[in-house]
Amino acid sequence: MGHYLVTGGAGFIGSHLSERLIKEGHRIICFDDFSGLATSYNHKWDNIKSMLDNHSQYRLVQGDIREKGYLEIPFEQESIDVVIHLAAKTGVRPSVQDPVLHCKVNIIGTVHILQLCVKYHVKNLIFASSSSIYGNNPFIPFSEETKADLPLSPYAATKKAGENMCYAYHKLYGLNVVCLRLFTVYGPRQRKEMAISLFTRQIYNDEKITIFGDGENTRDYTYVDDIVDGFVRVLDHEGYKIYNIASSNPISLSTLIALIEEKLEKKAKVDHSPMQPGEVNHTYADITKATIKLGYSPKISIEEGLTGYIDWYLNDELKRSKSKILGG
């Protein structure tokens, strides 16, 4: 049985990963600050309620990774084998609006994690990086050897800085680190401002959706179960490694909207606006390295993944409607 500290463990990816590890018999210590809007806050509690209620090997420690004292609690009290560092301020547009907050959480918070790994002799760290670091590099698909030194947003810059800090701590202290560059993760419980959840909700409710650009920008949408599989494959590693974790099958925004329309059996009402600052035109991962070295092979197509997400969304909406009726 492994002992895993998952920062951001009550979030979208963290809760799915924790469920997988719990099922495999491991002990999970979730560290999360439950930040965000009230709806997001409640949703995070929903994400982990079943694990809290039903698994003795699941523990929650509430705190902010910027506060080293709170963050040190699980290191002091648990024998941690691996830290899976998912906690971060996310999103390109929010980072343009508040770059200082993103720097404090994503860089200072990551340094705190690294310091505590060294202090408490944790041998392995998995750092959740992002496809955003590739920027608008013209050489696609992006491989791990593709230059990633021209970020277009503060968010992307903080993720690249996090990778660099991880490398420094690997060289200085022998900490084993894997950086996973994740490509546009989607699925049940994803954040409400992300494209698939936002468009699904707006189309379902007959609201207008806004397309930034001409709709031909592409994303390498990757279902959360395939992302989780990437994490599980690097739990026991040595050295410093970087891997792209993605579907490696990008589609355009226009195609994505058409698929959602088809599955909801509704037509989108569309407005167009210019591309937003910091947004990249295309993301497309070369996953050859992960395939060869890790045996990684994404299983969920965009059609299957959207079906899974939309089925979950409709069931969740039904539950919320019933709850409002009973509450009222």
Closest CA to 142 of 220, 194, 216: 220
Q: Return all residues near 60 (Cβ < 8 A) that are at least 6 apart.
A: 9, 10, 29, 30, 32, 48, 52
Measured over the CA atoms of residue 320, residue 189, residue 100 and residue 154, the dihedral's sign is negative
- Which pair of tokens denotes residue 88? 């971060």
Packing angle of the helix pair 12-23, 224-232 (nearest 10 deg): 60
State which H helix or E strand residue 228 sits in. Answer: helix 224-232
Which residue is associated with the tokens 């699941």? 58
* Residue positions annotated with a catalytic role: 155
- Compute and round to an integer the Cα radius of gyration of the chain: 19
Closest CA to 132 of 150, 145, 107: 150
Q: How many CB atoms lie within 10 A of CB 144?
A: 17
Q: Determine the Cα angle at 120 with ends 119 and 121, to 5°.
A: 95
- Asked if residues 105 and 155 have their Cβ atoms less than 8 Å apart, the reply is no
